[in-house]
Structure 1
Amino acid sequence: MVITLSSDAQLRQRAWDAAANVVDPEIPVLTIADLGVLRDVAVTDGRVEVAITPTYSGCPAMNMIQLEIELALEREGFRNSKVRTVLSPAWTTDWMSAEGRRKLREYGIAPPQPASSRRALFGVQEVACPQCGSDDTEVLSEFGSTSCKALWRCRSCREPFDYFKCH
């Protein structure tokens, strides 16, 4: 079977769409596309290869994400697809989509701040409460419900919340 460039482009888009809909098992309101974990989809001779970058090396969710991508591609008719992990460049919260940040906030997790807004050394980090929007918040623990989150509390509404840490 001869595959033309336009058909490779169509296959790539179908494969991208299938992979992009895989959800993060730790934060099920986010897709791997929302997170910026889905880096690339390539089609060569009709075979699909998906590149993903973990939020941090050793992320326990990556094995499940890889399996879910393979299953999503299989459901779309792609056989013998390959998922490869790319560690460089390292994932950054700047790769997270605006839609992903919105979804996090609505889910009750404060989204990461863009790198450009990070405070300099010895600066004070301000994280808005995802429940009431107040900036009067404090960190309780650098370790939250998962390794990529910290535990914060709002001084205004007194509610604790997770903050997705910047990387």
Structure 2
Amino acid sequence: MVGTASAAWEVAAAVPDPELPMLTLADLGILAEVSEQDGTVTAWITPTYSGCPAVAEMAADVDSRLRAAGYGEVAVRLRLDPPWSTDRISAEGLRKLAEAGIAPPGPAGAHPGQSTGQSTGPTALALGPTRRAVTCPQCGSTDTEELSRFGSTACKSLWRCRSCREPFDRIKEI
């Protein structure tokens, strides 16, 4: 046995996200739990959405990092309930996104059971715009426009600032 569950958490928490490498899985709130029992470390990850193509890579990276840290028996499991939300992104993660020139999401809004972390059933999906003013991560202006609802990954949209004329990605609220 190499260490405690908190030491294993620190190892797994440092794994970078494959699509947003300036952020860790902990920054994004994807790493949900790490436990150690009977010599096996189990890491639970909650993907940003059920069809996320990066899940296999995230799981492999967590497994690899934990084994490299000396943990012999490792299991990486998916946790889909409660579902991931952009509200899980840490303050540090929001700061790192802005520093990387990506507009961070605003609050996703209160969902049933969100404050307790317990799911109480289906969550209503709002199909309209989720936020009117998006701040440019380059100059801070809110005079911005959406160019495309679909960006380089499913969780991003493409925007442009009318003040500095710079394009930028924005993480969508989920």
User: Aligned partners of 2:104, 2:129: CA distance in 1, in Å?
Assistant: 21
Q: Give unpaired runs (5+ residues) of structure 1.
A: none
Structure with the largest fraction of helix: 1
User: What is the RMSD computed on CA atoms of the aligned residues?
Assistant: 2.1
- Select which of 11, 15, 24 maps to 1:31: 24
Matched, 1:149 2:149: no
Matched positions, count: 159
- Map of 2:116 onto structure 1: none
Tell me if the contact between 2:39 and 2:73 (Cα under 8 Å) persists in the aligned partners: no
The 5 A counterparts of 1:94-133 are 94-116=87-109, 125-133=132-140
Is the aligned partner of 1:139 residue 2:146?
yes
Could you tell me which residue of structure 1 aligns to residue 8 of structure 2?
15
Question: What runs of 5+ residues in structure 2 fail to find an aligned partner?
Answer: 111-125
TM-score, normalisation: structure 1 = 0.89
Q: How far apart, CA to CA, are the structure 1 residues paired with 2:32 and 2:132?
A: 29
Q: Who wins on radius of gyration, i.e. which is larger?
A: 1
Q: How does 1:66-81 map to 2 (within 5 A)?
A: 66-81=59-74
Which residue does 1:48 correspond to in 2?
Answer: 41
User: What CA distance in whole angstroms lies between the structure 1 residues aligned with 2:12 and 2:89?
Assistant: 16
Runs of 4+, deviation exceeding 4 Å: 121-124
TM-superposition CA deviations, 1:75-101 (whole Å, max 9, x none): 111112100011111100000000000
Sequence identity (%):
54
Do residues 158 (structure 1) and 165 (structure 2) align? yes
Q: Is the 8 A contact 1:128 1:137 kept in 2?
A: yes
Q: Is the 8 A contact 1:47 1:81 kept in 2?
A: yes
Question: Aligned-pair distance for 1:115?
Answer: 2.5
1:11, 1:46 within 8 Å by CA — same for their partners in 2?
no
How far residue 114 of structure 1 moved from its aligned partner, in angstroms, is 1.4
CA distance in 2, matches of 1:116, 1:71: 35
Checking the alignment, whether the CA contact within 8 Å between 1:154 and 1:160 is kept in structure 2 is yes
Per-residue CA deviations over 1:51-70 (Å, capped at 9, x if unaligned) read 00001111111111101101
Report SS of the residue matched to 1:158: coil
Aligned to 2:113: none
Supply the distance in 1 between the matched residues of 2:15 and 2:67 (Cα, whole angstroms): 13
Assess if the C-alpha contact under 8 Å between 1:52 and 1:84 holds in 2.
yes
The DSSP-based 3-state class of the residue aligned with 2:163 is coil
**Matches of 2:75 and 2:109, distance apart in 1:** 35
